[in-house]
Amino acid sequence: EILEQVLSFFVPKSLAGRRVLITAGPTFEAIDPVRGITNLSSGRMGYAVARAARQAGAAVTLVSGPVGFPVPQGVDRINVRSALDMHAAVMARAAQSDIFIAVAAVADYRVANAAEHKLKKDHGGVPAIELIENPDILAEVAALPDGPFCVGFAAESRNLEDYAQAKRRKKNIPLIAGNLIQDGFGGDDNRLVLFDDNGSHPLTPASKEVLARQLIEHVVKLTGKQ
Amino acid sequence: EILEQVLSFFVPKSLAGRRVLITAGPTFEAIDPVRGITNLSSGRMGYAVARAARQAGAAVTLVSGPVGFPVPQGVDRINVRSALDMHAAVMARAAQSDIFIAVAAVADYRVANAAEHKLKKDHGGVPAIELIENPDILAEVAALPDGPFCVGFAAESRNLEDYAQAKRRKKNIPLIAGNLIQDGFGGDDNRLVLFDDNGSHPLTPASKEVLARQLIEHVVKLTGKQ
């Protein structure tokens, strides 16, 4: 905590006065009261981005899926579990935000037929899991009139540049940070490539803390001084 | 750590010389390289049982699904992710164990058609998740000739006694610790009922640490001194 304060002292306050909304972690889509569909996102990258934005002087709100981390210092955290919860928490705050950084690994689908009671193995054979599409939080925020500057994340297992640029164009967002799952998911380090209107900007592989600060610097560059 | 050593000093070494194999936490059944089916088990109860067994003098091996806890002092931990991994780790060690305590919330089913690459939302509509049954680790260990004394856990959302006793009879195991999901899953405290040949023994609601010690005392009572 003291280290964070000291580090923070040396970071230029380039986001002072800006409200930054960030999502982090996985979502958990219930199958029954105990089981659900989730993903291996640790939340580390999103929490690092929240700390970097805070250190740069922003007022940071972090909408976090289920992870074990403490609240980063000076950050307003809202805990959510499912993609629908995250959608509601983000949409309630997006219009009042200057910058939205969608780091969370949000489930594309939820379970349509979630059970109220724990499914029993002996009753009726293998259960069928019926999926329905979740709202696309980033695309919805990007489509807001006078909405925040939007930053997306793309975690892919292959074809990173193609997928990331396609995602950027389809959702009409100015900046995407792409990474290969095998490079970053769940670990301390990562390898990020930033995609914007000027093309691709590969960052030197580094800790998620360092990459988060570089991402924030890039956001500052693209959004200009206030 | 020092506290654990001090506590341990006052616990009778009633399991000295016994090898205790314990499972803890959830399992994670892959859908694709990042997504999977899991459950809300925190691993707290299983880790508490491992510490209690260790404090009672046992040589403890803990086969743990993905949780964020450090290795309990003096315990040999084996990290696994899926039910099949957990099955392999347990079956390799069960025959050499004196006591097996299955606390993990093992997935009943895994995904039959797990994808090698991340599933894309835009390709071919809603994915179908096809499930197949996982091996029943506790039943297999209980069926071993000269196998360990087996203890199961039943976490139910209703009808606890019926389900727990049915599970005990079906798998032919001497002791089941039952709890209602709403009482214990994910939290620090729990409410346990022990089911054995003599009927049901409700324990006073308490922390998982205290309940784990009472469970170990009950196991000692049923298995007798060496």
**Chain-centroid distance, C-alpha B20:** 12
Residue B29 has pLDDT above 80, yes or no: yes
**What pLDDT score was predicted for residue A186?**
67
Which of B29, B31, B38, B171 to mutate: most A Cβ within 10 Å?
A: B38
* E-state strands within B7-64: 19-24, 29-30, 35-39, 59-64
Q: Give per-residue pLDDT as tens, A130-186.
A: 999 999 999 999 999 999 999 999 988 888 899 999 999 999 999 999 998 887 676
Spatial distance between the Cα atoms of B77 and B67, rounded to a whole number of angstroms: 12
**What pLDDT score was predicted for residue A189?**
84
B164 touches chain A (CB under 8 A): no
Which of B37, B165, B170 to mutate: most A Cβ within 10 Å?
A: B37
Residue B152 has pLDDT above 90, yes or no: yes
- Cβ contacts (< 8 Å) between B31 and chain A: which residues? 37
Catalytic residue list contains B39: yes
Write out residues 105-144 of B within 8 Å (CB-CB) of A.
105, 107-109, 117-121, 126-127, 129, 131-133
On average, the pLDDT of chain B sits at: 92
Per-residue pLDDT of chain A (226 residues; tens, 9 = 90+): 677 777 777 778 899 999 999 999 999 999 998 899 999 999 999 999 999 999 999 999 999 999 989 999 999 999 999 999 999 999 999 999 999 999 999 999 999 989 888 888 766 778 888 999 999 999 999 999 999 999 999 988 888 899 999 999 999 999 999 998 887 676 788 889 999 999 999 999 999 999 999 999 999 999 985 4
Average pLDDT over residues B103-130: 87
State whether residue B20 is helix, strand or coil: strand
Residue B201 to chain A, least CA–CA distance (Å) = 24
**What pLDDT score was predicted for residue B1?**
66
Subunit contact B38:A36, Cβ cutoff 8 A: yes
ipTM of this model?
A: 0.85
Q: What phi and psi, each to the nearest 5 degrees, are found at residue A99?
A: -135, 135
- Cβ contacts (< 8 Å) between A133 and chain B: which residues? 121, 126
User: Which run of H or of E encompasses B47?
Assistant: helix B44-55
Q: Give per-residue pLDDT as tens, B153-162.
A: 998 888 889 9
Domains annotated on chain A, with CATH:
2-107+135-223 (3.40.50.10300)
**What pLDDT score was predicted for residue A128?**
82
Task: Using alpha carbons only, give the angle A31, A65, A213 rounded to the nearest 5 degrees.
Answer: 150
Task: Using alpha carbons only, give the angle B38, B41, B47 rounded to the nearest 5 degrees.
Answer: 130
- For chain B, first and last CA: distance in Å? 29
User: Which run of H or of E encompasses B160?
Assistant: helix B160-171
**What pLDDT score was predicted for residue B189?**
84
Task: Using alpha carbons only, give the angle B59, B108, B147 rounded to the nearest 5 degrees.
Answer: 35
Q: What string of DSSP letters covers B67-129?
A: --PPPPTT-EEEE--SHHHHHHHHHTTGGG-SEEEE-SB--SEEETT--SSPPPTTSSSSPPB
Write out residues 18-47 of A within 8 Å (CB-CB) of B.
28, 31-41
Question: Which of B109, B117, B126 has the CB atom closest to A131's CB atom?
Answer: B126
- Greatest alpha-carbon pair distance for chain A in Å reads 63
Task: Using alpha carbons only, give the angle B39, B44, B49 rounded to the nearest 5 degrees.
Answer: 120
Subunit contact A109:B127, Cβ cutoff 8 A: yes
Spatial distance between the Cα atoms of B58 and B44, rounded to a whole number of angstroms: 19
- Cβ contacts (< 8 Å) between A41 and chain B: which residues? 34
**What pLDDT score was predicted for residue B173?**
95
Q: What string of DSSP letters covers A126-187?
A: SPPB-EEEPP-HHHHHHTSTT--EEEEEEEESS-HHHHHHHHHHHHT-SEEEEEEHHHHTTS
Structure tokens at A156: 């892919």
Structure tokens at A131: 């999926």
